[in-house]
Amino acid sequence: MVITTEHLNGKTKQILRRVLIDKHVKVVIDVRWSDKWPEYFREASLKGLLRAIGIHYQRFEVLGNPPKNRNENRDDWRTMKREYLNYIQLHKGALLRLLKLIKSQSKDKVFCIICYCQTRNQQQCHRFWLQEHLEKELEKEKHD
């Protein structure tokens, strides 16, 4: 299985659809803290868009980057990452459900973690930190 990421900021529905198809995504994991905007990417709309192209949608907003962390650590991504990783440990149940979802799918599935952050720099966004964390957990389980 492959875990990839994508941001929604600045994308239209058509662009997102093309990107996901090009990446051969089968499951989208939405880790936005809020889905208020843009309106066409609200949960119900996004679910419908993805269903129409054969992509399963799952929302894990509790694994989003809390506003407090984003606001307080905006200029220090290292601290933001550390605080985010500590935060998701407080939500082990959601992490375990996400890992179970990933492991329950066939090995050839491509998962895509999405959020609204605009950065493409993987050091500075929670979707990349979550991807890294999940990959480490899956690798660790392989060796246990």
Q: What is the pLDDT of residues 41-72, one digit of tens each?
A: 999 999 999 999 999 999 999 999 999 999 99
Q: Which residues contact 9 (CB under 8 A, 6 or more apart)?
A: 116, 117, 118
Pull the structure tokens for residue 12: 């239209």
More confident residue, 141 or 12: 12
Question: What CATH code would you report for 2-138?
Answer: 3.90.190
Asked if residues 43 and 127 have their Cβ atoms less than 8 Å apart, the reply is no
User: Is pLDDT above 90 for 98?
Assistant: yes
pTM (two decimals)? 0.93
